[in-house]
């Protein structure tokens, strides 16, 4: 069973640590350098604990922490989405078990409205996941450049 647990201020260091591992993994697709302390820059990280429009979730598969998701309402394409999937990952050892798609569907069901999801074209897993998820909603597709694509779609209330 998939569960979303809201990240709270007391969980800041835990989210920071696992986000750093995720950002390291994203260097396969983006040329983001580490700072002098060995961390990857994430400019809006602390705002997830001060901006009520930002939400972060730990993703649990049964009782095992399997990933995290970070949402905000800030557009990549000069629109006014209700939600943008800022970050989303399922840890490598839990991939290929349908956790990502099941989790993404759960997030959409809990957050109806106008959505944007951006992915890197070189990230074939993300591309497949987000196009599968968004397909039934007939997304508009925006190409920011040769490498980045944004899907924009509406999720109606149930």
Q: CB under 8 Å, gap of 24 or more: what pairs does 5-14 form?
A: 5/57, 5/58, 5/60, 6/55, 6/56, 6/57, 7/48, 7/56, 7/57, 7/58, 7/68, 9/49, 11/58, 12/46, 12/49, 14/58
* pLDDT reported for residue 158: 59
Read off the pLDDT of each residue in 83-109 and give the average, rounded to a whole number: 95
Angstrom distance (rounded) from CA 75 to CA 77? 5
* pLDDT reported for residue 33: 83
Query: Lowest-confidence range among 44-53, 91-100, 109-118?
Result: 91-100
* pLDDT reported for residue 26: 81
Q: Residue 138: left (phi > 0), alpha (psi -120 to 50), or beta?
A: left
Angstrom distance (rounded) from CA 126 to CA 132? 10
**1 DSSP β-pair partners:** none
Angstrom distance (rounded) from CA 150 to CA 61? 27
Angstrom distance (rounded) from CA 67 to CA 18? 8
Residue 135 has pLDDT above 70, yes or no: yes
Query: Which CATH number fits the domain that encloses residue 31?
Result: 3.40.630.30
Domain that holds residue 127: 2-155
Q: State if pTM tops 0.85.
A: yes
Question: Number of folded domains in the chain?
Answer: 1
């Amino acid at each position: 069973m998939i569960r979303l647990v809201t990240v709270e201020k007391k969980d800041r260091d835990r989210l920071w640590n696992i986000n750093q591992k995720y950002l390291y993994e994203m260097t396969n697709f983006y040329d983001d350098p580490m700072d002098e302390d060995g961390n990857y820059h994430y400019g809006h990280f602390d705002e997830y604990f001060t901006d009520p429009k930002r939400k972060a979730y730990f993703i649990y598969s049964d009782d095992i922490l399997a990933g995290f998701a970070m949402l905000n309402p800030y557009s990549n394409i000069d629109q006014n989405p209700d939600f943008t999937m800022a970050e989303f990952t399922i840890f490598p050892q839990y991939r290929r078990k349908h956790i990502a798609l099941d989790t993404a569907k759960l997030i959409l069901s809990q957050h109806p409205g106008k959505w944007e999801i951006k992915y890197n074209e070189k990230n074939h897993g993300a591309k497949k996941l987000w196009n599968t998820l968004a397909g039934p909603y007939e997304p508009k597709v925006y190409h920011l450049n040769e490498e980045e694509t944004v899907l924009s779609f509406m999720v109606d209330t149930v």
